[in-house]
Chains A and B, each alone.
Chain A
Amino acid sequence: MPGERSPAAELAALGPDAILRLPAPDGGAPAGPTAVAAPAAIDLPAPPTDSPDEWPGRRHVLDLDDFSAGEIGRVLRTADAMKEILGRPIKQVPALRGLTVVTLFYEASTRTRVSFELAAKRLGADVVNVAASSSSVTKGESLLDTAHTLRALGADVLVMRHSEAGAPYVVAEHVDCMVLNAGDGWHAHPTQALLDLYTLRERLGTIAGRRVVIVGDILHSRVARSAIWGFTKLGAAVTLCGPPTLLPAGELPWPVQVDHDLDRALEGADVVMALRLQRERQQAGLLPSLREYVRLYGLTRERLARARPDAVVMHPGPMNEGVEIMPEVAYGAQSAIADQVTNGVAIRMALLYLLGGGSV
């Protein structure tokens, strides 16, 4: 309470923000003028500090190679809002009501397909799933025939997974719908890379300057290619590690290091991403044996200890436990693998929301 002064002087001393306290409803005496200071700065939505943020608008998401750091930032920021919806009792908003999303998967994948389906439904869109093995595709209908038919049936967005690189580009070129690439051959898996970035940002705060090691069959990995784009665009230092037969030959189109020695590559790493080793690679003569691969490139607890103590372990799934990653690492405290799956829905919601619209 202010000191003893005349009421007028007290009022004057309080300044223009003063309000008069009215008598309480029970008739008690007014307590005298009280200063209400001008409000201090409150927590407005903070402007993004770690990455720029822009969305000039795009019709398709085919690969991360043409995303700017700002566009990646916008996707991650949008995923924050989507994650909040996933925390509600009613996990749905009507934003994409009236939009028809068709998943067209030429390669089976329960996890990714369900992730996209849930993402679309959470935003109120209608979803149809086309599994290429159970439809007229097996009768020899070409990719474009199928895509045109789905468009004619009302598909606004085609979420495509295909065994051949470039397939979504063919559809995007010839069919009048939005295309979201859910994986094309060895080439790209942009939504996986984005959810990996999102998960890491949750765990580490920033991506720039982080040391990332990607280990495994990078030659045949669309996850690796998209991750390399994403990490390098956000300023991480990436090292690729694996046997020479499983790394792309010759000059690489990315600013990355290559090291065939996993123990050395892991020194001081912030992030380790292990890739699935497909058994067919051994049959194709690319590895002498699985046992040798595990010995040289398996991510064990001992190996992981060479990285930073708070290093994050990632894997796009599904895992070959005991081959590229040991169970105690996969389910250990440093593993973000479960978060990757959860965040996948939020990231896919973010992309579905952002597709087809420009920045307002």
Chain B
Amino acid sequence: MTEAPPERLVLTADDVRRAVARLAQEIRERDDGRGALLLVGLRTRGIPLAARLRRHLEEFSGGSVALGRLDPTLYRDDLRLGRPRLEPTDVPVDVSGRRVVLVDDVLFTGRTARAALNAIMDLGRPALVQLAVLVDRGHRELPIQADFVGQTLTTTREQRVAVRFRESDGRDEVVLVDHAARTPTR
């Protein structure tokens, strides 16, 4: 029986919630009117994160904020290696003319964000697309940057960053896992 690799807690539940709150605040502050906001959560944990951000933003504004979910798998650049299971994509409003904020838990190589960007562009012509992530762990392989970052982490390429939310995993935390020979996918 293999042991679970050792984990190191880098963000506690409080840290996570503060970071989420801060993200929501920044998103609200940098609204320059270039289109109504649409939050789009990327599978898998971008979705609960986007839902939390929506709650915060709706509290701020008192109105409703559009929310969608996106699985960018069909736009990935590594499908030759395998066929990941597809999650539902559901963007209930037209993206054209909107300010779309893509939401994901971790930004790593940038490949997932690139795929998501291509997917959004096939759905319409947004006025503005931005990227919000809870954790930026560096090691970009494409010219991609996040507009909103909850927390920057220094990591090695071999380490894995695991973001957990109470809705999906039972608790809020971010851990660093020492994991040899892991192929980066983000």
Contact = CB atoms under 8 A, between A and B. Distances in A.
B and A form one assembly: yes
A81 B89 contact: yes
A80 interface: yes
A273 to B, nearest CB: 28
B59 interface: yes
* Residues of B in contact with A, size category: 35 or more
Nearest to B84: A360
A90 B17 contact: no
A89 interface: yes
A34 B124 CA distance: 37
B167 A90 contact: no
A39 B83 contact: no
Interface stretch (B71-79, B104-112, B134-142, B155-163): B71-79
B168 A44 contact: yes
Given A34-B59, A93-B75, A95-B74, A88 B122 contact: yes
* Residues of A in contact with B, size category: 35 or more
B29 to A, nearest CB: 9
B89 A84 contact: yes
Given A89-B124, A92-B122, A44 B47 contact: yes
B182 interface: no
Given A77-B85, A93-B74, A358-B82, A36 B56 contact: yes
Contacts of A17: 17
A85 B90 CA distance: 10
A348 interface: no
B150 interface: no
B55 interface: yes
Query: Chain B contact residues: over half helix, strand or loop, or mixed?
Result: helix
Contacts, number: 97
A31 to B, nearest CB: 11
Nearest to A355: B83
Contact of B123 (A44, A90, A357): A90
A36 B76 CA distance: 37
Interface string A94-120: 111000000000000000000000000
B86 A78 contact: yes
A94 B75 contact: yes
B75 A95 contact: yes
B74 A94 contact: yes
Best-buried of B14, B88, B118 by chain A (most CB within 10 Å): B88
Given A39-B51, A39-B55, A81 B90 contact: no
Contacts of B86: 77-78, 80-81, 353
A358 B124 contact: no
A42 B103 CA distance: 16
Contacts of B47: 42, 44-45
Given A36-B59, A55-B85, A80-B88, A44 B48 contact: yes
B21 interface: yes
A23 B162 CA distance: 35
A93 B73 CA distance: 10
B8 interface: no
B52 interface: yes
Contacts of A94: 74-75, 118
Contacts of B85: 53, 55, 74, 77-78, 359-360
B82 A360 contact: yes
Contacts of A360: 81-85
Contacts of A55: 83, 85
Contact of A357 (B43, B59, B83, B122): B83
Nearest to B79: A95
Given A16-B17, A84-B88, 11 more contacts: A44-B44, A44-B168, A53-B85, A55-B83, A84-B89, A93-B75, A94-B118, A96-B79, A353-B74, A357-B81, A359-B82
Q: Please name the 9 residue pairs, one residue from A and one from B, whose CB atoms are nearest each other, closest first.
A: A357-B83, A81-B86, A93-B74, A95-B74, A360-B84, A360-B82, A42-B51, A90-B122, A357-B82
7 contacts: A39-B48, A41-B167, A44-B47, A45-B47, A81-B88, A84-B90, A357-B79
